[in-house]
Structure 1
Amino acid sequence: MKKWTIGVDVGGTEIKFGLFGDSLKEKWFIPTNVSEHGSHILPEIAETIVDKCRIFGVDITNLAGVGMGLPGPVPDGNMVRGCVNLGWSNVAAARELSELLAGAFSCQPEDIPVRAANDANVAALGEMWLGGGKSCKSLIMVTLGTGVGGGVVIDGRIYNGASGCAGEIGHIICVDEKDITGNCSCGNRGCLEQIASATGIVKYARHYLDETDIPSVLRELLREKGNISTKDVFDAGKNGDEAAEQIIDTVTKYLGRALAGISAVINPECILIGGGVSAAGEYLREKVAHHFREQAFSELKNTPVRLAVLGNEAGIFGAAYMMISERMREDSIL
């Protein structure tokens, strides 16, 4: 019986791995080698997988496959398009990794299944399997970090969309003109990412402070340090700072608006909030849930809004689960 599965989460600075049997047995990482247009990335992934398999006694007879999360659109489980931070353009990542592993194990590529998907979608799948969405089969996950990403899982499977771009929650245009600062990185104006990402929150906070004269500890921090962070904004809000509370209320209003709109299309069992900004915890979750309920369709207002719980490991869990769930479906057919 093929009991082992490997999950891989490829990032711009490091690549995380998880070896799964009945549970997570081993996790490790290697730096992402983006030299020469990322041509070394897949060979180095294959090399470290082979090394770990030898250590744990895993061979072709008991390896069910490798799942891989990649920072770009993956419409078909294989070809990734436009991974700018890896130096990739139109790379058949799953097929190439399967061929590299087959060479190392002296077998045919079809003997080692490899599937790839967008990293945010994979993280959402991991949270569905063993994280904040464990009791759900259909969910939306929004990740608040340097940018705003997201993933959509329907009936236990990632929904990629026609070209692999489903889940680009950060580029939903939902911000009123009065609260927009500049253009989004995508070139549009009014994207959720402009106000709900870590960088967007800071930009909006500075904009708000410039437009008002409300006393705030944030003004003092700007005078002392010359800058503020997202954590500064949330810490001030938790301590009752009026300006910070107004800033956070505006940010979460737009986040609630975007999630209400997605929910009207997807009708998920739950909504998850992840990414670095989610470290603000229950304070953030409660405000997003409040604004979601205010703006959601009447039959959807009770959709649970939860925090993601797997953190940086969500990707390896979701990548592994792609293969585990595929094996389960095959077993059920047999």
Structure 2
Amino acid sequence: MPDVSPDIDLIRSRLLAWYDAHARSLPWRAAVGAPRTEPYRVWLSEVMLQQTTVPHATPYFHAFTTRWPTVSDLAAAEDAEVMGAWAGLGYYARARNLLACARAVAGEHGGVFPDTEAALLALPGVGAYTAAAVASIAFDRAANVVDGNVERVMARLFAVETPVPAARPELRRLAGLFVTDERPGDWAQALMDLGATVCRPKSPSCGTCPVASECLGLATGDPARFPVKIKKADRPHWRGVAYVLIDDQRRVAVETRPEKGLLGGMLGLPTSDWAIGEPVAAAPVEADWRDAGAVEHVFTHFSLTLAVMTARVDADGDYRWMPIEAARAALPTVFAKALDRASAPDLFG
């Protein structure tokens, strides 16, 4: 590796020129040279993208902005409506934070997002990354926007040998070297695009990279080694049982899960506790239960095998009863899988 440092000014000029020519067209992004994107759309997209990909988030973004075109519209929505619309994006605490932030903007700021990083950071549920992203992209403020893509680009440009997560403060410092008052919003998005389309986690396309000549990671001959990572521990495996109760009107029993905990505040099927090893399970009602097999689901920190038991019962007041298709659309993915598993003709027919 050559004993040199990347040329900050050269990287900025080359990457901005590349962005002008190759910026991704995204539903929440203004075209290069166009007026800035409305802050609500920037904020909403950034919250959605924190734990998912652009292709997965895009239909959700369209659905939200069609149903709730402004932050004030979202603030006025019922919690259950928003939770149902969020199903499939994961991390449901973010949906609760989304509502809390929307209501703060509507109630305390007259429906107008504050335009500084510090004021944005004071909103409920808005962390350092989101505040910097909205300040930079929506208001063209000089802010250091650092996500996983930016961390990867910095780790490779500077060949940072310290493993993540310990390297993160240094990667943030290095990213900050590039932040200026010149086109800060475009700069933030250019870095994101470079990481997403060229400086990819695996098989980086170094031959098309506009700043390859300045990349110390490429100079080592193995740029994909960066950022250096410590091997993760194996994800624990949990088990549980989901109970699908159907009445004579082809409605399924659902319940609202506790506010705190996994899938908090969401609709769910009656279920046992989930635990490592065999679950301690007891059917919620006496019925002729049938074993419908099991479904598999992967959460961020553990995987889950959910056994599915089905029964026909008379509707009672202990549950909310929903038509099967409506329930399938409203339930989080893991429960929708269980409902699909139980959808045998001999049960629903």
Q: What TM-score, normalized to structure 2? A: 0.24
Q: What TM-score, normalized to structure 1? A: 0.25
Higher helix share: 1
* Greater RCO, 1 or 2 (C-alpha within 8 Å, sep 6+): 1
